[in-house]
Every structure is written in C-alpha cells, then in structure tokens.
Structure 1
C-alpha cells in the first residue's frame, strides 16, 4: 500500500487515479474518491495514523498537509517498516524566488526526509499549471485577466506529469537519494498563459497588469490569509526579473515529452467556460 498526505490536493488526486487499488488517502475531511482506503485526522499531530501504516511500503509527503507533524510522521513510518518516502518540494529550494521564508519551509522538510533513514526521493516542483484556475472567476465574467507582473515567466508543470513521476518514485522505479527539479517544457509569462487559455476556449483573452499592492489588497479583501498574496507576489516579482528554471527532467524520467501549458488548458476548458 502507498499512503498519501494531501490526497485531496491537485497532485494527490492524480496520484490516486494511478493507484486505484493501493492508495491510502490521508485527509481531514470526507473519503477521497479513487482511494482504496481513507484515513481521517490532523497530521499536525500524527500519532493517530499509526495503525494505518501497517502494510504501507511508501509515503508521499505534502509539507503543507503535514505541517509541524512531519518529523513525527517520518519516525512512525520508520517504526512500521515503511521503505520509501517521496517529498513534494519546490524549485525555490535550488532556484530562490519570492520571500525566503517559504523556500525555507520546503528546505526544512527536505532535511527531515533526507535524514529520516528511509529511502527518499525529493521532487522540486515548478509552479503548477493548475494555479491558473485562480483566473477562472474573471474569465467566466469577461475576457480579461487582471493581475500583477504580467512579464513574470516560469515553466508551469501539468499535475499529471507530477503524478506520473511521483508514482514511479513511490513504486521504487527511480534511484533513491535523488532530488529532481521538475518543470514544464516551456517558459511562459502571464500574457502568454492567458493567450493559451483563450486558444483552448476559442476566445480572444488578454492580461491587464495592475499594481502589485492593488492585487494584494484585493486578495486580502477576499478573505485570503496574508501568506497567499505574499507567496504569489514575491515569486512573480522575482520571475519578472529572472525567469524560473526550465528542465527536461520530466521527459527524461517518463520517456515522453512533458505536457505543455496548452495541453493543460485544453484539459481544463470547463473550468473557464461561460
């Protein structure tokens, strides 16, 4: 069996689709579709999960899901004979961008995983293509996306590619003790991302740049916690000066081209339609 933290997340759901008979989903809420089994509880205090670790061979870690409970979870995994751990980290550990406090959290998680005594794989992920879903309300209402730093460029990765690599690592098909930097195949700024969504929808869309502080205040007015605009705007500011990394690692590991942002947009037209 393979235990997944953050199973309700964008990547977790995709991984479960690839593990229909062996995925154990960890969640605070309702049963997760596609999971062979769901266990519920607060991973910040993971003692309750101990019975669910019996028969588990590998664990996928989402640091945002485990929070301060990661160290204890790893110790419990070792105690119950788990062999492998796969960590979903971020490219900012190796390619700094945004406020250092956010990359530091991922680096701290990497340190715990690599020192756990388990066979480990770290996946340092570029920004998810799925982050563009935040534009859906604007595109359902009109043909303009408004945001900050239009020329900020990164190589967004399709969650299906993350899941495909993660499953290989969870099943022991990748060399252990390795950190991989996974990105999409093409560096795109925000204008280009919006254009590609428009091409998938058959609509002429545009990106309108707003002052960063206006965007920040708008996000806070929606009730988002302070760290959400801080994380977003800090990274975008740096990527507007220096694009994020682009690697061919996905293709190297999967033996096929990485999925493009255009592929992702076509896969998600329903989310933006009106």
Structure 2
C-alpha cells in the first residue's frame, strides 16, 4: 500500500519521499505545484491541504500519510484519511508552537497516530544568517551567546520514516532536537569552518536585530516569532535529545549540517 507524503518538495518532506522510494516503499508525494519535479520512483499528486474536497483521489489506496502543520484547518483532511481507509497518520507538528487542535484531531481519529515535534531547524540558519555570510560581511546578532539545539532536517525525516513504516510509534509524541547544545557564536564558527573562512559577529540590540530580519525579507510577525525564542532561551535554554532509540543512529551534529550546506552560505 502507498504512503502519502504532504509537502513532498519541502525541507523535510523532500527527504522523506527520497528515503521511502530508495527503500522500495510505494510513495505518493503531494505538492501544490503542478510543475514540481519529484525523485524517480515517487508518484506526484497535485493538491492543497486547505481544500480536502479536492484530495479524494489523492488518498485512494493510501495506507499511511504524513501531514505537516501549516496553520490551516486540516481537520477535514484527517476525516478524509479516515474515510479513505488510511491506517496510519504521522503529523509533523512543532516543539515551540504546536497546533494543539490539529494534534487533538489526529489523536482522536482512531488511526495509528504519531506526532513529531521538531525544535529549531538548523536549516533556518540559511535564511537568518545566510544573506550576511554570502555577502562576506559580519553576522549581526543580538543574542550571540544564547544556547540552541538545532536539528538536522535529515534527522527529522529519519524519525518520520520510522514512524510511517515501523512499529512501536503508535500513540507516541516524539520530541526531535539536535544532539548538542551550542551558542549562536559556536554555530557561526562551525559554519565558518565549513565554508573555509572566519565569520565575524557584530553584536546589536534586539530592535536592530528585528529590523535586520525584516530587511532580509522576514514578515514582522515571523521576525518577532524568531526573536521570541531567543529571548526565551536566555533563561531557559532547550536541551539536546537523543534520537538513536528511534532512528538507530546518533543525531547529526551541527558541524555535519554546516558541511552539508556549505554551498548555501
């Protein structure tokens, strides 16, 4: 039976469909973009999670589905999964601001459910710090010594694949974080090592950091959302989580993530 992955071209979904296809699992990738190119062996389905009425054919023959939290009412999509005979549902939620209503809908669906709550995506650094690093200038930071535990997107995908295809995940909520606690200063140093040059840090105030994020292209509410966590972590830093009991391997370090993404900087 087929596994349906929503957000098949996304940061995590793109890896999940590749992992499933490589393992010989029949996989259908859901995307909003009719021109999207998916990996070999992945069936493309075009549709929008915000319009469940358009997805009946997409869910036909599906045994397991991965959804992702996108701040739209997906309750109707969960209901469609139930009506379509889906047996297992995996929801990619969030550690910081989970969609509690959607999580509740998934838990109450009667399906085999797993909720994934990833913390800070390491990939966010590409958008936050990437423009300054690519320009060759210093990274302007309001909280250079705040501690985070960024997680490699490949580790999130590995947990998702385990939950979609393996046993022992039903009724569980998996917290997904990186394997090590690092300050922003340490993270920037590791990116510098990956790209082969030292990256300077210019310390600025909170308001200036907010203006910098907005000038980079972040909407105001997203800039505030990002900085909110940095402020929160000053007094209550997140702690690492071992994913090895789920994936069978240690979590990827930030240095490994930086090497994997050196070209993005």
Quick check: TM above 0.5?
yes
* Equivalent position of 1:77 in the other structure: 81
Contact (CA 8 Å) 1:3, 1:24: kept in 2 or not? yes
* Equivalent position of 1:12 in the other structure: 13
* Equivalent position of 1:31 in the other structure: 36
3-state secondary structure, aligned to 1:219: helix
3-state secondary structure, aligned to 1:235: helix
3-state secondary structure, aligned to 1:124: strand
| Alpha carbons of structure 1 residues 271 and 91: separation in structure 2 relative to 1, 3 Å | same
| Residue of structure 2 aligned with 1:52, choices 58, 66, 87 | 58
| Residue of structure 1 aligned with 2:152, choices 155, 158, 161 | 158
Show the 5 A alignment for 1:60-75: 60-64=66-70, 67-75=71-79
Tell me which stretches of 4 or more aligned residues in structure 1 moved more than 6 Å. Answer: none
Q: CA deviation at 1:257?
A: 1.3
d(CA) in 1 for partners of 2:206 and 2:102? 30
Q: CA deviation at 1:82?
A: 0.3
Q: CA deviation at 1:108?
A: 2.2
Contact (CA 8 Å) 1:46, 1:69: kept in 2 or not? no
* Equivalent position of 1:179 in the other structure: 173
Q: CA deviation at 1:216?
A: 1.9
Contact (CA 8 Å) 1:143, 1:204: kept in 2 or not? no
Q: Does 1:238 align with 2:232?
A: yes
Q: CA deviation at 1:240?
A: 1.9
d(CA) in 1 for partners of 2:202 and 2:102? 37
* Equivalent position of 1:263 in the other structure: 256
Q: Does 1:141 align with 2:135?
A: yes
Question: TM-score, normalised to structure 1's length?
Answer: 0.89
Contact (CA 8 Å) 2:38, 2:44: kept in 1 or not? no
d(CA) in 2 for partners of 1:217 and 1:143? 17
3-state secondary structure, aligned to 1:19: helix
The CA RMSD measured in Å over matched residues stands at 1.6
d(CA) in 2 for partners of 1:151 and 1:242? 13
Contact (CA 8 Å) 2:29, 2:38: kept in 1 or not? no
**What are the ranges of 5 or more consecutive residues in structure 1 without an aligned counterpart?**
93-102
d(CA) in 1 for partners of 2:145 and 2:53? 46
Deviation track 1:165-214 (CA, whole Å, cap 9, x = no partner) reads: 11011113333000111111101111010000111122111332222212
Contact (CA 8 Å) 2:131, 2:216: kept in 1 or not? no
